[in-house]
Structure 1
């Protein structure tokens, strides 16, 4: 059964900030089982009473007493769902029992009576949302119990026409006062414990609700921040695409129009070729800038730091150098200007190769990083003299597969595998021509 709210405050719809304690899904089954168990104990207790002299001396009507005890026990079925109503019914039944017993030989089994009373006070404190109402209901409940006890005791003690005890000797005024005072003190502790545990259950449920509410608000705030970040990134990408595409497409359109007019005018083919070369150059530059943007988005990790390039390669080597592996860096040739995509690719490949060497080559190994600027290509090699190992798919990128994708994107070649006689090598060659600006 689905959970439903405990007794409402005053019939008004609860606000979002008001705590309404929800009943558990299996509350009806659980409370029904509890009521049946208490009723069963009540029956056993009264059956045991039949075997004693107390039942004979009290001359109680067993059938009425048993029926009354069962009614009291089955109030537990709805003690959590309707705590105020159950408290009112319980109070009326106890008051009715107190005064009916003056004329009829009827009572109730004490253990179930006390337990149901305890659970009634507990449920009002644990489940009623209106805390002021819960307070006064419990106060009224306790006062009604005490007043009923005092009234019956006074009538029994001072009215000589009332005979409930049969052969049991009458109590003196002092004895009656002692019994009554002791009963009131014990009941005070009994009611106070029920009051305390009910209030504690309410407070714990409310604290849990506050934590859940705070967690939900935090999750909503995080979702809003994430959505805002996505929207901002979309706007950023849109602006970048507009700047790249619009400019170069406009240039290509102008030169294409000029080429068309030259062809129509049957001008010198060399002039037409010149216009077409402008179109080719603009398209290559547009592809190069789009490629750089794609790498920027691919490598973005949420930070505002610039993307690494070949100028940071010596620092990468220095960081890789350790007490267990010696890493050196050598650069040869005359550095040439290459695209950001090429620089990023060479840096990431070196980073991945060094990571693999650190994980798999072993200790006391020499790792050499070499960067050679040739006339037609840039060559990056990372070699070690350690143990040969299989390609792995973990590291700073996506392992060997990630290196292949990066190198292929800039029209380069990747060579990797065991060295002779031992060790491992990773060699990348990237052409220093416009081919580095093409997307595979």
Structure 2
């Protein structure tokens, strides 16, 4: 808005009409100007402003015609301006001895045409034509009497002749008068347009805040659902396998059954503890939330707990192995918990779909710019029913987690049987390096 032209003729914005209160204020203004012009008219009559002034009734009529249209100045700004200009010239031609409030009323009409004209080109054209007509009329009305009064024949007292002095004074006065009315009217319209644009932007920002808040709520619900799925699904799946193993050996190997039940108890306690930590964090507004991904603080799990995770699978009766390739290095909390959750979800899916007879092979590779997680299972009998890549909330959750840290996921059945989950996760140093290269 700051670079707008004075009239902004090509702007499609139309200034809203004033309220009923605004129209009432215009009517009050017309009454006040008329009352003051009558008092001014009486003073000019008393001064003897004109040697042969117009009759009093004509003066009152002209003051009424000059001030009354101001009541409609914001309804019909251009029409009021043209009418006011005609009456203003008539007041001078008819020798009505009042120039103070006539000029004020005419100034208000000129200002209003610029401030409230709904058709900008018409408003500008009307004001320029009125100004041009006024200059022509004023020169003819003032310079002709000046010559008739003998100003041209008078001796030059100052630095310029009397005729030139009268002309310059007339030009200066009218430039200030008409220029001020034109400029301030246009500036009032531009200020109104800028206020409207600011209100519109404020409304848009409020709507955007509402949309952002709604999206934040949806994302938070998604994050909670993902965390609950990761925590509950894994532990419940493991406990289900352990309970089945305990039931099968309860009669012939009570000690093995006791060990399975102890593992169930341990898994249940761990699930409760992790749920407690997560819910405590959700109630704490000071904890940071990573949009679309896991938070750093709700869980103490990470790559360091992967051996324990595979140990839980082994305690459930599955053959599970963990292999670490490369030189381990510290990972950011977000990357570390993402690795843990991916492996946890892959094991949960293997338990659900491959059964207790499947073997699980988990590999964690430390590469130069990323870590790679690969979890495969051998499959089981009956054959898995979930063969579609990306189906199920578990796969969707893993994709969302990885997308939050810039990682990718490959998941699907293997040609030789079983299922494969592979995730590539950029490390913090790789992400920082890519940002620097982009800059």
TM-score (structure 1 length as normaliser): 0.51
CA distance in 2, matches of 1:308, 1:250: 22
Where does structure 2 lack aligned partners over 5 or more consecutive residues? Answer: 1-6, 154-161, 301-439
Q: Residues 126 and 201 of structure 1 are in contact (CA less than 8 Å); yes or no, is this contact kept in structure 2?
A: yes
Name the structure 1 match of 2:281. Answer: 296
Provide the rounded CA distance (Å) in 1 between the counterparts of 2:103 and 2:129.
17
Q: How does 1:34-183 map to 2 (within 5 A)?
A: 34-54=29-49, 57-95=51-89, 101=94, 107=96, 109-128=98-117, 131-150=120-139, 171-172=149-150, 174=152, 182-183=169-170
Deviations 1:302-328 (A, max 9, x none): 366844999xxxxxxxxxxxxxxxxxx
Question: 1:193 maps to which residue?
Answer: 180
CA RMSD of aligned residues (A): 4.4
* Distance in 1 (alpha carbons) for counterparts of 2:31 and 2:231: 78
Is the contact between residue 244 and residue 290 of structure 1 (CA under 8 Å) also seen in structure 2? yes
Q: Is the 8 A contact 1:98 1:148 kept in 2?
A: no
Asked if structure 2 preserves the Cα contact closer than 8 Å seen for 1:9 and 1:129, the reply is: no
Give, in angstroms, the shift of residue 115 of structure 1. Answer: 0.2
Q: Deviations over 1:277-301 (max 9, x none)?
A: 5544333222112112113323453
SS at match of 1:107: coil
Distance 2:26 2:78 in 1: 16
1:250 to 237, 255, 260: 237
**1:9·1:130 contact (CA, 8 Å) conserved in 2?**
no
Q: Is the 8 A contact 1:244 1:289 kept in 2?
A: yes
The count of aligned residue pairs is 280
Name structure 1 gaps, 5 residues minimum. Answer: 1-7, 159-169, 311-440
Deviation digits for residues 185-214 of structure 1 (CA, Å, limit 9, x no counterpart): 422221122223223333444444455455
Cα distance in 1 for partners of 2:190, 2:196 equals: 10
The 8 Å contact of residues 277 and 298 in structure 2, kept in 1 or not, is answered as no
Q: CA deviation at 1:63?
A: 1.2
**Equivalent residue number for residue 314 of structure 2:** none
Q: Does the CA contact (< 8 Å) of 2:40 and 2:98 recur in 1?
A: yes
Distance 1:42 1:63 in 2: 14
C-alpha separation between the residues in 2 aligned to 1:288 and 1:195? 76
Distance between the aligned counterparts of 1:309 and 1:238, measured in 2?
Answer: 15
**SS at 2:46 equivalent:** coil
Give the CA deviation at 1:252.
4.1
